């Protein structure tokens, strides 16, 4: 028998701060691009197009001595039909030394905060200095945490426009965000207003499960930075593929982005090649350049890596041990 620490969603909310998660994820990105961490093939199945899927992501970081996996289920109508979150799952962390699991954690909180951290990292290193106008397309849990992350790295934010298909959800999102961030002016944008909203934005964040491009190339002005968050499965797409050849392309994992991320469609159509994509870890380590000038369009595609989950979970486990939080279970 051995002990494993179990952390639920309330435990994780006490233990994790997005600033510290940003730092942990930056370290994971660097280790991955240096070859000190590895991703295993993603297992994914879509039961219903765009509304019901299962994903398993796994990998290891030799530098931290940890391996891990995350199992996530997504059911779009859970909130309305069952009054439970659309995304749920678990993260399991294992010791590379012993092979034993050391922690099991709620996967929803981990996924949300580490993806919010990823978006923050993309904007921190690729958005133009002084970026003040933001557009967030998608008003679910991920839209909320993307706003949280951006406020930590872009101190000059003045306006955040939010766009979504459901008017009620959009209004609720803007109302909640206005209370949380009173220094920022939030505006509702119907989907029909996207062309103007995109053209006014310094930073655009797309965080939807869309299978059709939502943002057209002709709407994007020079100097815009885009965080592409939603595409993490074959067939998903949020950006016009004809925009990609016009932009500087950065990914968390080049291989994964070209296979299941935002860059998959343009790559399959021959509009971009492997050499057109650089990894964010290479920018963080100084091996590659990020934004070259203020007129450049930059796109950061984060299809999500298990390494982000592992380092975020480890951060929580270390703090839980220090504070005596969570439950110890004998297995």
pLDDT tens digits, 249-301:
999 999 999 999 999 999 999 999 999 999 999 999 999 999 999 999 999 99
Residues 157, 253, single domain; the answer is yes
pLDDT tens column, 187-223: 999 999 999 999 999 999 999 999 999 999 999 999 9
What percent of the chain is predicted at pLDDT more than 90? Answer: 92
What percent of the chain is predicted at pLDDT more than 70? Answer: 100
Matching residue, tokens 């179990």: 6
Distance CA 231, CA 211 (A): 8
Check pLDDT > 90 for residue 86.
no
Distance CA 263, CA 280 (A): 15
Residues 321, 275, single domain; the answer is no
Count CA atoms within 13 Å of residue 175 on its CB side. 6
Residues 101, 135, single domain; the answer is no
Residues 215, 253, single domain; the answer is yes
H or E element that contains 116: helix 107-126
Residues 178, 206, single domain; the answer is yes
Residues 80, 199, single domain; the answer is no
Matching residue, tokens 């369009």: 297
Question: CATH code at 145?
Answer: 3.40.50.720
Residues 128, 216, single domain; the answer is yes
Residue 183 gets which letter from DSSP?
T
Residues 231, 216, single domain; the answer is yes
Q: Are 323 and 15 in contact (CB under 8 A)?
A: yes
pLDDT (0 to 100) of residue 87: 84
**Average pLDDT value for residue range 35-44:** 94
Q: Which two tokens stand for residue 306?
A: 């298990």
pLDDT (0 to 100) of residue 2: 87
Query: How far lies 111's CA from each of 55, 69, 261, in Å?
Result: 12, 12, 16
Q: Which two tokens stand for residue 160?
A: 């955040």
Distance CA 304, CA 319 (A): 24
- The total domain count for the chain is 2
**Average pLDDT value for residue range 221-250:** 97
Residues 192, 77, single domain; the answer is no
- Domain span at 315: 3-111+307-330
Residues 37, 61, single domain; the answer is yes
* Catalytic positions: 70
Residues 64, 209, single domain; the answer is no
Q: Which two tokens stand for residue 114?
A: 């580490």
Distance CA 192, CA 299 (A): 23
């Amino acid at each position: 028998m051995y002990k494993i620490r179990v952390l639920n969603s309330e435990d994780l909310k006490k233990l994790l701060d997005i600033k510290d998660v940003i730092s942990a994820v930056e370290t994971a990105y660097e280790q991955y691009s240096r070859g000190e961490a590895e991703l295993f093939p993603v297992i994914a199945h879509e039961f219903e197009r765009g509304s019901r899927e299962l994903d398993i992501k796994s990998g290891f970081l030799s530098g931290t001595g940890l391996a891990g996996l995350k199992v996530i289920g997504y059911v779009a109508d859970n909130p309305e039909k069952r009054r439970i979150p659309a995304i749920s799952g678990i993260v399991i962390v294992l010791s590379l030394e012993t092979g034993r699991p050391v922690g099991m954690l709620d996967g929803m909180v981990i996924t949300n905060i580490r993806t919010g951290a990823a978006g923050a990292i993309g904007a921190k290193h690729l958005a133009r200095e002084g970026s003040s106008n933001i557009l967030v397309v998608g008003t679910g849990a991920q839209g909320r945490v993307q706003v949280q992350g951006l406020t930590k790295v872009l101190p000059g934010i003045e306006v955040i426009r939010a766009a979504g298909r459901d008017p009620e959800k959009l209004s609720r999102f803007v109302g909640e965000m206005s209370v949380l961030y009173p220094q920022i002016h939030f505006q509702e944008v119907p989907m029909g207003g996207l062309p103007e909203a995109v053209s006014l934005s310094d930073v655009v964040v797309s965080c939807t499960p869309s299978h059709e491009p939502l943002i057209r190339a002709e709407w994007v002005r020079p100097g815009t930075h885009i965080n592409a968050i939603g595409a993490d499965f074959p067939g998903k797409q949020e950006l016009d593929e004809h925009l990609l050849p016009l932009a500087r392309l950065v990914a968390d994992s080049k291989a994964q982005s070209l296979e299941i991320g935002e860059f998959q469609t343009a790559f399959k159509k021959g509009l971009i090649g492997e050499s057109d994509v650089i990894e964010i870890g290479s920018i963080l380590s100084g091996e590659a350049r990020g934004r070259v000038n203020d007129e450049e369009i930059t796109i950061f595609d984060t299809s999500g890596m298990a390494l982000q989950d592992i380092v975020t979970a480890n951060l929580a486990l270390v703090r839980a041990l220090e504070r005596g939080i969570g439950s110890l279970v004998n297995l």
